[in-house]
Amino acid sequence: MPETSLIAIAVGLLYLAALSCVYRILLTYRTTQGAIAWIISLIGLPYVAVPLFLLFGRSRFGGYVRARRMGDAALTDLMNYFEQQTTSLSQPDSEPFGDELQVLCKLGRQPFTSNNHCTLLKDGEATFEALFDAMENARHYILLEFYIIRSDKVGQRIKSILKRKLGEGVQVWLLYDDIGSVWLPRTYLKELDSAGARVASFGKGNIRRRRFQINFRNHRKLLVCDGNTGFVGGINLGDEYLGTAMDQEPWRDTHCCIIGPAVIGLQLAWLEDWNWASSEFPELNWHPSLASSGDHQVLVLPTGPADTYETCALFFLNCINNARTRIWIASPYFVPDFQIMNALQLAALRGVDVRIIIPEKSDNRLIRIAAYSYLVQACQAGVGIYRYQPGFMHQKVILVDDRYAAVGTANLDNRSMRLNFEITAITASQTFVTEVTSMLEEDLSHSRLMTKSDYQDRSIAFRLGCRAVRLLAPLL
């Protein structure tokens, strides 16, 4: 009898926990499909769904939101100072700075700035050469934030430079994601710490605030030196971007070097993340410096699950809905939700040249398969989906007409839209847009245009598999 009572109490507590989760879902859900799926699971299989929901079910990073609120006064002061010290170009009647770019300033809480110089870095070799050179020339401090850091040749070169710069009196702050860098040896970090660097993990650095919110990732990849030189893009710190291994497919990726006031925007994003992970607020250079050459207009757009709005999704929708002649998007992961897919179809139907470049070879088999299920919808509307052939394409680049281009870390999938902290540099400069156009044209020349037959002529088992995997889109 006592055992029966204990079982009944345990079951009762389990269903009470399930009802608490349902209550939270009803108050906070963002997509109806996801909410319904969770509620059905919680009621039907509470012993499985409750722990899964606690680990993966949240769509809003509550701990980060609270940390942002507590540190908001100081950050707001810095943002206000940043805007006062720079020339905002988001003028309603000025092309190309119309409403579509004004709204991005509001989403990112940062201004468009002029007097920047942006250098497009088209592969890992060019990117690492520029990163190493910038760190070698740093005189005061180096800020790093990367999703993946490896202890391979690139990682060892980074560590060697940082230790040498620390010996010269340069301050170093290194922030990494504990999931992305799960295989990074602790000895690597201890060496940097012993040399005087400040090192923090985005997840483990503030475990009290984080609690069960392990489904969120800091997917940003950025470097800032002295507050005047910055880098952002899709490249992590690892040898795979060099394609030097004999048994490895070459990786195709893109990064961007920025010199000028927009670097302060990168620094603000880094500071907020660092403050979350370490509860520290280091003193940095907040005086924007002008680039000696070039006049590129740049906006840095940080996005993430602590934002008031679904900033990343709204950014993509804003680009697609406002495209007039073309919208080209390169993304390694193509698992769009219904609103993004509908926007792409509408753009194509109104005569916009819509092209999506995705890899033929992928590091995620499920996402590669799921992409096939969108082919019929895409082809019917005239959306071109191209599969890049030479190797694994990992770049995240957007080209809107001949007006502006974006290089960053955000993919066309649910994780980037709602669960990851991402960052993108949007540049409205004719010279930069021309460079991006040439780069994507070269990528397209090495890509295969997919057709409906790529999906419809496959076996029924394959098509069912594609559709089944697509159901997992919110989790991929």
Report the catalytic residues. Answer: 219, 221, 226, 394, 396, 401
The dihedrals phi and psi of 403, each to the nearest 5 degrees, come to: -105, -45
Output the six-digit token pair for 447: 């890509």
Annotate the chain with three-state secondary structure.
CHHHHHHHHHHHHHHHHHHHHHHHHHHHCCCHHHHHHHHHHHHHCHHHHHHHHHHHCCCCCHHHHHHHHHHHHHHHHHHHHHHHHCCCCCCCCECCECHHHHHHHHHHCCCCEEEEEEEEECCHHHHHHHHHHHHHCCCCEEEEEECCECCCHHHHHHHHHHHHHHHCCCEEEEEECCCCCCCCCHHHHHHHHHCCCEEEECCHHHHHHHCCCCCCEECCCEEEECCCEEEEECCCECHHHCCCCCCCCCEECCEEEEECCHHHHHHHHHHHHHHHHHCCCCCCCCCCCCCCCCCEEEEEEEECCCCCCCHHHHHHHHHHHHCCCEEEEECCCECCCHHHHHHHHHHHHCCCEEEEEEECCCCCHHHHHHHHCCHHHHHHHCCEEEEECCCEECCCEEEECCCEEEEECCCECHHHHHHEEEEEEEEECHHHHHHHHHHHHHHHHCEEECCCHHHHCCCHHHHHHHHHHHCCHHHC
* Planar angle of CA 440, 442, 443, nearest 5 degrees: 60
Which residues have C-beta within 8 Å of that of residue 379, sequence separation ≥ 6?
Answer: 385, 450, 451, 452
Residue 413 near residue 377 (C-beta atoms within 8 A): no
Strand partners, 172: 142
